[in-house]
Amino acid sequence: MYVKGVNLGNWLVLEKWMSPGLFDGTTAEDEYYLPTQLPKEIYEERIRMHRSEYITERDFTRIRAMGMDAVRIPVPYFIFGDRAPFVGCVKELDNAFNWAEKYGLKILIDLHTAPDSQNGFDNGGISGVCKWSQEPEEVEFELSVLERLAERYGTREGLWGIEVINEPILEDMWETMHVQERYPAVDPEKAAGSKPNTIEFIRQFYLEAYDRLRKYMPEDKYVVIHDAFRLKAWKDFMREDKYKNVVLDTHMYLMVAEMAGCDQTIEGYVNYVKEHFEADIAEMEEYFPVICGEWCLFNSLAVGHDTKGGQTVLNGQEGMSEEAMSAEEKKAIYRAVAKAQLDAWKKGSGYFYWTYKMLTDTVNTEGWVGWDCWDLGRCVDFGWFPTRE
């Protein structure tokens, strides 16, 4: 098994920086606060239009033409439409399955958010809050979403697998990322009591989720578990025979490598990828098929200044207003880090690029120079990403 894929980020789970038009006229920084700042009809219209235009049939033909086998689709906990004021999106996922099956792609459904959040990131739905795992009813709700997803899509030809929950955070990453400073909570009361999940909780959740998914999803479909940013913590996990086709997902970003001290030079990135990303995946591939479910070409060298772990104008950083590099220099950097990373993933069982598409306008809005490489479409257009490998 080796999967080459791309994430459909920002389609059914929003990220402000990837689609600023959605947040126009509000101060909301995340999906949770968007409906609190808009009249109901406007909020619903905005979401409807976004979903109907952002990803459509033609994106599936494009992704196939890029040589990809699969898409990873982040979905929110309210996908089934039972958590007002949020709008469900199961119809959109239904459509995606029909497109995928027509054009020969597989879908990894990625349950990307949880009520009160599993990580406190903006892309977890509500910035600065991380309390989900302390709320048994919401944990059960999340399991019921997984079960319903399996029931609805478990036997679809287009299903590759279901990922139990995206990026549940543990203590180490909580500290490295300074989550509550980087993603300040809007409502301190709502955030009170936020803390990282425990690994004991995550393990227990994964075991329970496996059983709930397998009620409906045959064993030839993958159950995907995220490493919770601690790739090597899973050597003794799910060793029993009953666990079939469990895939371990790890997310590896050069901007995180930079925070760990990686040199911001081509050589620095390439060496770091080889010594850490590649070595760690090779080590863990002994225990599970390992995929790198999120990664991209982004790095501070190509941007032209240290982004301090990928912080943007939305985090109060200035950003670049002009290109720091020539087109040739950028191409050389991106091709080098693309090759190094693609080589690393080959020690495992595949990858999903983050992300297929974003609307961020690097020309007409200030401070976004260098962020276009998060968009696989643009990477392919510019010749930064080798579609024939």
- Positions touching a copy of itself (CB under 8 A) are 19, 21-22, 24, 39, 41-42, 45-46, 48-50, 52-54, 56-58, 61-62, 64-65, 94-95, 98-99, 102, 357-364, 372, 375, 377-378, 380-382
The nearest distance, CB 82 to a copy of itself, in angstroms, is 23
Asked if residue 206 lies in contact with residue 225, where contact means CB atoms within 8 angstroms, the answer is: yes
Q: Which is nearer to a copy of itself, 104 or 193 (CB)?
A: 104
Q: Which is nearer to a copy of itself, 34 or 340 (CB)?
A: 34
Rank residues 38 and 179 by Cβ distance to a copy of itself and give the closer one. Answer: 38
Taking the complex as a whole, how short is the minimal distance between the CB of residue 248 and a copy of itself, in angstroms?
Answer: 32
Least distance in angstroms from the C-beta of 50 to a copy of itself:
6
Nearer to a copy of itself, 50 or 251 (CB): 50
Distance in angstroms (rounded) separating the CA atoms of residues 299 and 318:
16
| Rounded Cα distance, 323 and 370, in Å | 7
Q: Could you give the CA distance from residue 305 to residue 320 in angstroms, rounded to a whole number? A: 8
Angle between helices 90-103 and 136-153 (to 10 degrees): 40
Give 344: exposed, middle or buried? Use CB within 10 Å, 0-12, 13-18, 19+.
buried
**Tokens (6 digits) for 109:** 């459904």
* Residue (of 81, 63, 85) closest to 152 by Cα position: 81
Total residue count of the chain as it appears in this document: 389
Residue 374 Cβ, how far from a copy of itself at the closest point, in Å? 11
- Of 227 and 372, nearer to a copy of itself (C-beta) is 372
Q: How far is the CB of 90 from a copy of itself (least distance, A)?
A: 13
Q: In this complex, which beta carbon is closest to a copy of itself, that of residue 62 or of residue 83?
A: 62
Q: Find the shortest distance in angstroms from Cβ 304 to a copy of itself.
A: 16
Task: Report residue 35: phi and psi, to 5°.
Answer: -70, -15
Q: Which residue has the tokens 């879908």?
A: 107
